[in-house]
Amino acid sequence: MDRDGNHASSTYKRIFGSWNNAIKEAGYTPRTPRGVKKTHTKEEILDFIEEFKETNGKWPTGPDIDETAPFSESLLYYQFDGINDAIKEVKKRRKTV
């Protein structure tokens, strides 16, 4: 994209937040990246993050996910475009900020 495309990848990130968001906005479903197995639903990931917060008194970090979650941080990035987006979803569910 950066070499042969009409726009730099940073343009998509700036406007849409990520390449996957740009794909979704265009009405398509992003592909699962190589090596990422879609083994857990978004709901299961959010449940894990909420339980982690309740148990540990803090939101999980990337290393926390890799060390304790039954799914990979890569899957979290695929499903939510990152841990911060997933945490925002948990906060919406809890109706707290």
The torsion region of residue 92 among left (phi > 0), alpha (psi -120 to 50) and beta comes to: alpha
40-53: pLDDT as tens digits: 888 999 999 999 99
DSSP state of 83: H
pLDDT number for residue 87: 94
CA 48 to CA 54: how far, in whole Å? 10
Q: What is the pLDDT of residue 14?
A: 82
pTM of the complete model: 0.61
Answer whether residue 97 shows pLDDT above 50: no
Would you give the distance in Å from CA 27 to the centre of its chain? 18
Binned at pLDDT 50, 70 and 90, residue 34 comes out as: low
Query: Count of CB atoms within 10 A of residue 19's CB?
Result: 14
